Structure 1
Amino acid sequence: MMAAPAIAPPFLAAVDEPAATTGIPPIRTSFVLRALRRALVPAVSVGLALGAWYLVSLVLLSPERRFLLPPPDRVFTESLSNPVKLEVMLRALAVTARIAVTGLLLAAVIGVAVGVLMSQAKVVERVVYPYAVVLQAIPVLAVVPLIGLWFGYGATARTIVCVLIAVHPIIAMTLFGIQSVDANLRELFALGRANRLRRLLSLELPAALPSIMASLRTAAGLSVTGAVIGDMFFAKGQPGIGTLLDTYRARLQSEDLLAALVLAALFGVTVFAVFTAAQRLIVGRWHASGR
């Protein structure tokens, strides 16, 4: 008897068919589709925002009041596409970026150090944590005059504003991450007679790393906000993007004001995206928060 020809099961044929007909591996196709889906939502969101902007500017505002919110195309043609104006804005944005990064680094060092100290001694937590809460509860605009009086009206005062705004989430999340270490792992280190420093470096800080990275991502955006606020109130020295915002507001230069706002927003989004990518790179392989 002749053997019957082998027939592949239907589900195997269905799997092999896309590669045979299109020549594109299924894995690559799925990657492209995922990338398109991820880009679709932000694109739709930006489109809706621009549509709402046009609606308010061209429909809800009368021509006499349209200077309050010029349409996006006027902002681009009158300001963003002007090389002279754009150069001034980018130079100011670079000053703000330098202050924001400096403030964020200082806040990260101070916040992690204070969080670690509070986790190691209850008395330190009871003494320091109320002040951290008060620091977060007091509006920064209320202490800005004191900062200017004590530290002048230059870059130092702007950096201090960034630190004050950004440090609290780092302190809170560092403390939370260390205190959330699995009790079984603590007992395992106790059985191994690990000293406090070994337990901190080998167990507590690695376990708290996802929380610390999440706090840095939040603090990054807050640091940009603090830098812009500092620019507005401390105009001594090189002008930042906040200084330009205040100047454009006073002169009713609506197109330039909105263009500077767009650049500041793009910078904030870029900083947030950088720390999101850093979080995925550092903890994405072993923790769900980075995936």
Structure 2
Amino acid sequence: MTQSIAVRMPRARSARAAAQRPRPAVSLSNRAFGAVGVPAASFGAAIAAWYTVNYLVLAPERRFLLPAPHRVLTQSLLDWSHLGPMLDALAVTARVTAVGFVIAVLFGLVVGILMNQATWIERAVYPYAVVLQVIPILAIVPLIGLWFGYGMVARTIVCVMIAAFPIITNTHFGMQSVDRGLHELFTLGCASKWQRLVKLELRAALPSILTGIRTAAGLVVVGAIIGDMFFAKRQPGIGTLLDIYRSRLQSEDLIAAILIASAFGIAVFSLFGVLSRALVGRWHASGSRS
């Protein structure tokens, strides 16, 4: 028995030493492959699948429904007479997205902070926040147009309705998750409610808040495009062109507009991923893994 214990002890010590030993750094080539090679391979596989569907799945008389990538590139993306209107429409959508996003962030932060201040506020407001999320936006968009017109205001409201919920819930969750011991420390220091809010709750909840803002950054683009589709009486957005191309069966332009809108959404989402890493990446795991 004593001998078996003596044998186990060195093994346990060696296991602990191996666990504490620093892991070898990932080589530069592996990092480059992970950052560039994997996305490039995925993109190539998607293009190959696209060509496969176009030439092997669709009948020749139906190939216009999904034109080959080179046709989209040459007849739409590289033709300024087609690309120019798309970029002009994207600029309109980008303005709506920016305004709607700023309002959604301010609205979501205020509501989330208020819900954290008192239980009765949370019980009174939270059900409406849930309704804001689950309500079928396509069903209420016509009512928004009747109430607020068919211009910038209506498009902005659609953006806020879609993007506000994740900011509200993540702000509230982050502030509710602050360590109780830190609250007691601030109580011992006779901190005011304002000091507790600014110096403790908001700082501790920052990773969660940034996660909600990053999620909303992707949703607000969807809201702007939906608003474009329904409110097209003034300046047409990219969503307006999507609806026009669909009705006219302009498949090359339709796919090109979808790609441009997707690239815009990815750019907005990635921008706030970079912002998250810049703000919390050094001291919180959510920033380093974004």
TM-score, scaled to structure 1: 0.89
TM alignment of 1:107-118, pairs within 5 A: 107-118=104-115
How far 1:145 sits from its partner (Å)? 1.0
Deviations 1:92-144 (A, max 9, x none): 00110110111111000000000000001111100000000011011111110
| Alignment partner of 1:245 is 2:246 | no
Q: Which residue of 1 aligns with 2:168?
A: 171
TM-superposed CA distance for 1:252, in Å, is 0.5
Name 1:235's counterpart in structure 2: 232
Is 1:264 aligned to 2:254, yes or no?
no
1:288 corresponds to which residue?
285
1:187 alignment partner AA: E
Question: Which residue type is aligned with residue 219 of structure 1?
Answer: A
Instruction: For structure 1, list consecutive stretches of 5 or more residues without a partner in the other structure.
Output: 1-25
Identity %: 62
Residues 42-121 of structure 1: pairs in structure 2 closer than 5 A: 42-121=39-118
1:40 to 37, 42, 45: 37
Greater mean deviation of Cα atoms: 136-145 or 161-170: 136-145
Does structure 1 residue 192 correspond to structure 2 residue 197?
Answer: no
Tell me the equivalent position of 1:139: 136
C-alpha distance in 2, partners of 1:196/1:86?
54
Q: State how far apart, in whole Å, the 1-side matches of 2:92 and 2:28 are.
A: 39
Runs of 4 or more above 4 Å deviation: none
State the aligned residue count.
265
Q: Does 1:254 align with 2:251?
A: yes
TM-score, normalisation: structure 2: 0.89
Deviation sequence 1:51-92 (CA, Å, 0-9, x none): 111111111001100011001110001100101111110010
Aligned counterparts of 1:289 and 1:48: Cα–Cα separation in 2: 30
> How far is 1:154 from its partner?
1.0
Deviation at 1:32, TM superposition (A): 5.2
> Residue 198 of structure 2 corresponds to which residue in structure 1?
201
| CA distance, structure 1, for counterparts of residue 113 and residue 28 of structure 2 | 40
- State the distance in 2 between where 1:133 and 1:251 align: 38
Aligned-residue offset at 1:206: 0.3
One-letter amino acid matched to 1:67: F
* Structure 2 portions without partners, runs of 5+: 1-23
Letter in 1 for 2:109: V
Report what 1:224 is aligned to.
Answer: 221
In structure 1, distance between residues paired with 2:191 and 2:212 = 28
Aligned alpha-carbon RMSD (Å): 1.3
Deviation at 1:31, TM superposition (A): 3.9
Question: Aligned partners of 1:144, 1:37: CA distance in 2, in Å?
Answer: 42
Instruction: Give, in whole Å, the separation in 1 of the partners of 2:154 and 2:97.
Output: 12
- The one-letter amino acid of 1:111's match is G
Deviation at 1:35, TM superposition (A): 3.0
CA distance in 1, matches of 2:171, 2:268: 21
Name the SS of the counterpart of 2:27 in structure 1: helix
CA distance in structure 1 between the partners assigned to 2:39 and 2:179 by the alignment: 37
Q: CA deviation at 1:248?
A: 0.4
Tell me by how many angstroms 1:44 deviates: 1.6
Mapped to 1, the partners of 2:171 and 2:28 lie a distance apart of 35
